[in-house]
Amino acid sequence: MADASETAFWVRKALGGLYVGTSKDIYRLDGTGAELPDETVDFTLTQLNIDHAPISEAVAQEGNVLVYLADDGWRAVSGGGSLLLTGATSLLYRGQTRHGVSPVNLTGGRFRAAIAKGMLTAITPEGASTTSSIVLYRHTFAAQRWDRHVYTPGWRCVYREPDGTLIASDTAGFVWTLNTGTQDGSSDIAVVAWTIADNNGQAFVRKDPRMLRALADTGGATASAAVHLDSSASAAITASVASSGAGIVVTDISSIAAFKRLQLRMTGSFSTFHWMEHAVDYTDLPYPFRGRMQEHNAGSFGEKVLAGFMLRLCTLGAARSITPYVDNVAQAAFSVTTDTDQPDTYLHQFTSPVTGTDLSFLVDGDIELYDWQPTVLYQLPPRVKVWENKPLVPSSVRRRFGGFTMQVDTKGAAVTVTPVLDGVDQTTLATTTGDLLGKTLTFDTLVGRDLWCRITGSTAFVVHHVEPLVTETLPQQWKGTTPRSNFGYPGHKRLSGIQLRLCTFGAAVTVTPYLDGVAQTTLSVTTGANDPDDVTYQFATAPEAVEIVLGVSGDVELYAWSPLVTAKRPLGVKAWDSGPLDLGVPDLTWVREIRMKVYVGADLVVTPYFDDVAWPAVTIASAGHVGTTTVLTVPVGRGYKGRTPRLVVTSTAAFYPWWIEIQRRATTASTEKKPIRLAAMVGGQVVA
């Protein structure tokens, strides 16, 4: 089967045949072994052509599971090939020390293995161990997990008995039963367990730790959970985890530094140890950044005037040089240094305002950038080659325009300014500026509703503000009749005419006054197209009216209108009460005579009162006075006296009181008292 260059290591029955492991390959021997008539034996030898051949007598088999030791670790025979089982322990078989564990001694170590109840148990010499080892590696096939167990005895042989019991012998000549009970002999089992170095899928992002949470059952014993950061051999902090039965233990680890990867090392001696879950509460710090930052336009595509920019960053304790760029032009660099873990807010100020559209910066080393924003003094509109500010809501009145005020930067090139009046282009203007400064452009007066501006240029320019110069806002255009008006006096007015200031847009318009609803003689008025005229309407006679309305037959702009009033009189009444009259003297008063100025329509009945006591009424005949304004005397006797007089006047026809005059009695000429005249408060106070 082999020559002198090939060594046979083991033979095992599995998978429906005999498997022979040699230093070059694994062979399968099939057949019955019976001697055939041609004097041959019924055996067929098939070479599997395994890519990694056995390297020693180390082999284990249970049922159809066949495992052997190759030059890269333990392998399982699978069909016509083999499957590597080392998993997370593979680097140890490549000669590397991992997490304080020495590499597996594949060249000079003694390996023995057995499979019992779905678990491979292998004596594994590490480092300088050769003929024995205190370390057993266990591989659970169902979970695809390796465990490493360290003991006091030096193991030399491990064997599975027919009933599945796993036994092992040591260098002292003892045979031990393995995988039974909860202790090693009479001592708790020493545990050293490492988790993976976990970065939670963020290998380059630092994490700011908060809490360590562990779900474990330690049987009441204390497990030390050492926290190792970023592959450090030293623990940053050690948490104590103890629980009888499954319990959650929370430890504050916020005092340790930020980290990228975290690994736990659990140690202790236990009769019960189930480490079920663990989690670390932390806050992701910003992704590390270096180089040129993406440009920032501060939310606008237009130019803006910048005073600097704000940075919130952590330089990880190192000085970093930062170079601002405005529209891809480098500005003066500056240096920033922060604590290792804590960010600072830094406000960089330019030495003078800088105008630009996009801002970025270049940093020469890693930083954690929390936020950054340009410091914008004010926003400029985007550059354009054509600009117009046509109003979206038209004006309801005409206006008189004299030009434009504007704030425009033409970048040193001439632009054409076209005034547009109510949609009609006017004579163009030209202007040139080199900065965003105020400028006034004037032209001959234009009259219209809306004036806007169209600016065009061969090179891009910036327009911040354009406003028409309005020299006058003209009245609202209308036609028809005005509202009724008494022009501030509710009584009768004697009129000689009406004064108007209006514009008829160059067309003839008929003006019709209405006095208390009655149309008067019309007047035709024609003015210029844009300028008003002053017009006086003359009545042929002086009519009297309370309310006046003005009507026009066509569109006009009415600047002002008012009646020419020559006289006023109160409204007519049929009953009038003067109310208590204040004579201005506190003493008792004897009244000698009462006089009234009144427009008479019929006989008047006058009832005097003194101190709210009525005296006999007096009738004053109207004969000879009807339809006229006259002064009538109210006769009073010698007994009329009191402190506060009052008059109540009634009539069957409307009358119009103007004033009351009271003459007080006097005993001698030297004590003659002046009459007291009081205005009648009807339809407005009018003293005549």
288-379: same fold as 8-180? no
pLDDT at 570: 76
As a whole number of angstroms, the distance between CA 420 and CA 439 comes to: 18
Q: Per residue in 57-90, pLDDT tens?
A: 999 999 889 999 999 999 999 877 899 999 999 9
Q: Per residue in 510-566, pLDDT tens?
A: 999 999 999 999 999 999 999 999 999 999 999 999 999 999 999 999 999 999 999
pTM value is 0.57
Instruction: Give the CATH fold of the 8-180 domain.
Output: Neuraminidase (2.120.10)
Half-sphere exposure of residue 290, counting CA atoms within 13 Å on the CB side?
A: 11
Q: What is the pLDDT of residues 325-344, one digit of tens each?
A: 999 999 999 999 999 999 99
Query: Residue 376's pLDDT band (boundaries 50, 70, 90)?
Result: very high
CATH 2.60.120 fits 192-284, yes or no: yes
What is the pLDDT at residue 644?
Answer: 86
Contacts of 1 (CB under 8 A, 6+ apart): 8, 20, 27, 45
Start-to-end CA distance of the chain, whole Å, equals 154
pLDDT > 90: percent of the chain? 72
Residues 227 and 255 sit within 8 Å (Cβ to Cβ): no
Q: Which CATH superfamily is domain 384-473 in?
A: Galactose-binding domain-like (2.60.120.260)
CATH code 1.10.3470 for 570-679: no
Q: Are 525 and 513 in contact (CB under 8 A)?
A: no
Task: Please name the amino acid found at residue 596.
Answer: M
Return mean pLDDT, the chain: 91
Cβ contacts of 587 within 8 Å, gap of 6 or more? 643
**Lookup result for tokens 């026009």:** 552
Q: Mean per-residue pLDDT for 626-639?
A: 84
Q: What percent of the chain has pLDDT over 70?
A: 98
569 in Cβ contact with 656 (< 8 Å):
yes
Fold of 288-379: Jelly Rolls (2.60.120)
Distance CA 16, CA 32 (A): 12
- N residues, the chain: 688
Q: How many CB atoms lie within 10 A of CB 639?
A: 9
In this structure, are strands 645-664 and 629-634 parallel, antiparallel, or unpaired?
Answer: unpaired
Report whether pLDDT(685) > 70: no
The C-alpha atoms of residue 613 and residue 137 are separated, in whole angstroms, by 130
What is the rounded distance in angstroms from the CA atom of residue 151 to the CA atom of residue 113?
Answer: 16
pLDDT confidence band for 298 (50 / 70 / 90):
confident
Q: Which of 171-180, 182-191, 223-232 has the lowest mean pLDDT?
A: 182-191
pLDDT tens digits, one per residue of 216-259: 999 999 999 999 999 999 999 999 999 999 999 999 999 999 99
pLDDT at residue number 122: 97
The rounded distance, in Å, linking the Cα atoms of 502 and 514 is 18
| Cα gap 83→67, rounded to integer Å | 9
Q: Which residues contact 344 (CB under 8 A, 6 or more apart)?
A: 312, 313, 314, 336, 338
| Euclidean distance between CA atoms 635 and 463, whole angstroms | 86
Query: Hey, what CATH topology would domain 482-568 get?
Result: Jelly Rolls (2.60.120)
Torsion angles phi and psi, residue 90, rounded to 5: -60, -35
Domain ranges of the chain: 8-180, 192-284, 288-379, 384-473, 482-568, 570-679
Rounded CA-CA distance 377/303 in Å is 11
